[in-house]
Structure 1
Amino acid sequence: MLALICFGGYCGGVTDLSALPASLREFIEATNAAEPLRFLAVFSDEAIIDDWGRKFVGHDEIASWDQTDNIGVRAQFELVDYAVLAGDHVLRLRVTSDRFNGVGTLRFTLGSDGLITALVIS
């Protein structure tokens, strides 16, 4: 089921990667370039990924998730929409891969250093 993200009566519109914070832009670009070390570098040391209830904590587990669910399955991302909600950054991405194809919603929390501290995929 595809859910349109709307905030204060505004729905969608931001599709330019340059509008994203640097770590989110790098998250997309590193995935599309299939560069795992570059991908991992955008996460804080204690970051967590919650992928539909499956949790991955820290660089080792995130690297494992990357191999089974992201770069390892040749994921490619296209930005559909971007917005900020309650301090979190919400992206809708069109994903093509060997495992998942479709549009997904990713909600990121960034630390004061700009690195990703949490990613919730739903």
Structure 2
Amino acid sequence: MTEQQLPSAIRAFVDSTNLGDSDGFVAAFAPDAYLKDMSREFHGRDGVASWNKTDNIGRQERFEVLSVRAGDAPDEYVVSVAVSGNGYNGPADFAFQLSGGLISRFVIS
């Protein structure tokens, strides 16, 4: 799978981050989404919006997709990225679970 083959919700996640589009970013997630950033957990779109404000678009983060692979379960993907901005800078693996075309689970490792 290549970057061009990213599922639409994951593409929206990357593109909206890079464009600074918070509404588009949050809209890529299911209403009951789960987000885990190392040891911190966030729930629902309000939690996603909170994390986005403090750790993502709020820090002018940018993602460059390095690789994409299917996970072990259906609709599961692991995306390796290079992160830059005013927060964390460096490589990261993002694990996504999709449901109904939206991100239902997002875990950073």
TM-score (norm 1): 0.85
Query: What's the C-alpha RMSD, in Å, of the aligned pairs?
Result: 0.9
Q: Which of the residues 91, 102, 107 maps onto 1:115?
A: 102
1:83 aligns with 2:45: no
For 2:40 and 2:107, locate their aligned partners in 1 and report how far apart those are by CA, in whole Å.
10
Larger Cα Rg: Structure 1 or Structure 2? 1
* Identity value in percent: 35
In the TM superposition, 1:1-122 aligns within 5 A as 14=1, 16-87=2-73, 88-111=76-99, 113-122=100-109
**Which structure has the highest helix share of the two?**
2
Q: Which runs of 5+ in 1 are unaligned?
A: 1-13
For 1:36 and 1:17, locate their aligned partners in 2 and report how far apart those are by CA, in whole Å.
21
* Greater than 3 Å deviation, 4+ residue runs: none
8 Å CA contact 2:82–2:90 kept in 1: the answer is: yes
Residue 100 of structure 1 aligns to a residue whose secondary structure is coil
Matched AA of 1:93 = V
8 Å CA contact 2:66–2:80 kept in 1: the answer is: yes
